[in-house]
Amino acid sequence: MIDITLIRENKELVKENIKKKFQDQKLPLVDEVYDLDLKFREAKQKGDNLRALKNEKSALIGNLMREGKKDEALAVKDEIANYGKEIADLEKLEEELSQQIKEKMMVIPNIIDASVPVGKDDSENVEIERFGEPVVPSYEIPYHADILETFNGLDKESAGRTSGNGFYYLMGDGARLVSAMLSYARDFMINKGFTYCLPPFMIRGDVVNGVMSFAEMDAMMYKIEGEDLYLIGTSEHSMIGKFKGQLLKEEQLPITMTSYSPCFRKEVGAHGIEERGIYRVHQFEKQEMVVLCKPEESMEWYNKMWSYSVELFRSLNIPVRTLECCSGDLADLKVKSCDIEAWSPRQQKYFEVCSCSTLGDAQARRLGIRAKGEKGNYYVHTLNNTVLASTRALIALLENNYNEDGSINIPAALQSYMGGKTKIEKLK
């Protein structure tokens, strides 16, 4: 949610930002909020004036009574009673206008960074840099599900019976490899100075509204029937929610956390895509990184965070590249975002494995997360980035460490987490 001062002082900037995101249908919201805000401030000023007048008149009553001017005192009391009714009406109007403003403000997208390229969708994202050589071996790389099946590492058929499409059982070395990657990712971030956290896997509706847009919520979140609870789509949701309504001490910043969680996603509109494998699924596990910091430090942390993902994937022998997300590909709360994509030697192209974002103070405004500094209180900036998402990281690791004989090299970084094992051999 943006600062309403922007609409009061620079409506055109807000409108231009909406145009850059190709959301012209939201343009009328800016003028609507502007007009509602004028009415709100007018009502508030009138209410403040009446309250001051009421206090002034109340002070007269005692004097009038002491002077024996009972009738005049009673007349003033009647005036005060009328003021009270008018004040109550104005307070009700203020509340109604405030709610209308908030509802519309929640839909207006955040102001994107000047460095973000303008484009309609992810097809117009811009490659920034490549890390590692994207090798295509002389031998064929099988589909990841077929690789897993060579050592009984995947069971989609049974998951279909228990849960339906989009679910899976990882078995044996398939499951062990995912656990190893997540443990390695956890320790990798701890060694970067981040505090490890296991968060709640369900959050309340007000936290959901605080961390994401309504469109994202509808497309992603599973709601618990009969409860004000949602299954998290990423631990970022509960990690940011941890600070809801808090006034932090500036010396606490930056707050750097890395969290593990299962993630649950509807994946609306994606059914039928890669259903045979585990690329797009309703449930996976993830190691996440989250930062709360001073506004002036957010871009520095943004660059650190995506570089950590690059470093981790390169330590697993996986070539990656970074992509600058264009304006039309940014979720409404994001200021700037980049995707980290892993090389797929089977497809001979890159695919997304991480996403790093700075959201400015949008989440902090929605959730009331501020810091107390020397110059007063201010909203903190929040950032998040995937350290490692289990299923997509597994696909990237299998393809980039696959040998011609069907075995899988276990990267050195993971071997201690795999009991010293250096290879996974296919079953005879």
Q: What is the CATH number of domain 4-105?
A: 1.10.287.40
Residue 100: the pLDDT is 95
Residue 425 DSSP class? P
- Burial class of 92 by CB neighbour count within 10 A (0 to 12, 13 to 18, 19+): exposed
Q: How far is CA 163 from CA 19, 150, 186, 268, in A?
A: 42, 24, 29, 17
The segment(s) of the chain belonging to CATH 1.10.287.40 are: 4-105
Q: How far apart are CA 169 and CA 167, in angstroms?
A: 7
Tell which residue, 257, 386, 218, 390, has the closest CA to residue 310. Answer: 386
Place of tokens 């350290």: 387
Q: Are strands 230-231 and 320-324 parallel, antiparallel or unpaired?
A: unpaired
Burial of 201 (0-12, 13-18, 19+ CB in 10 A): middle
Burial environment of residue 192 by CB neighbours within 10 A (0 to 12, 13 to 18, 19 or more): middle
pLDDT for 275: 61
- Tokens 């605080």, residue? 210
CA end-to-end span of the chain? 57
Query: 363 near 237, Cβ under 8 Å?
Result: no
Over the chain (428 residues), the average pLDDT of each successive run of 10 is 92 96 96 95 89 71 64 68 80 93 94 96 96 95 95 93 91 96 98 97 94 80 93 95 96 97 79 69 95 97 98 98 97 96 97 96 96 94 97 97 96 97 91
Say what the pLDDT of residue 273 is: 46
Q: Which two tokens stand for residue 326?
A: 């264009």
Considering only the top CATH level, what class is 122-424? alpha beta
Domain with CATH 3.30.930.10 in the chain: 122-424
φ/ψ of residue 166, rounded to 5: 90, 5
CA dihedral (72, 78, 81, 85) in degrees, to 10, reads -140
Quickly list H helices, 67-107.
70-105
Residue 290, CB-side half-sphere exposure with 13 Å CA sphere? 26
260 touches 285 (CB < 8 A): yes
The dihedral through the CA atoms of 43, 45, 48, 49 has a sign that is negative
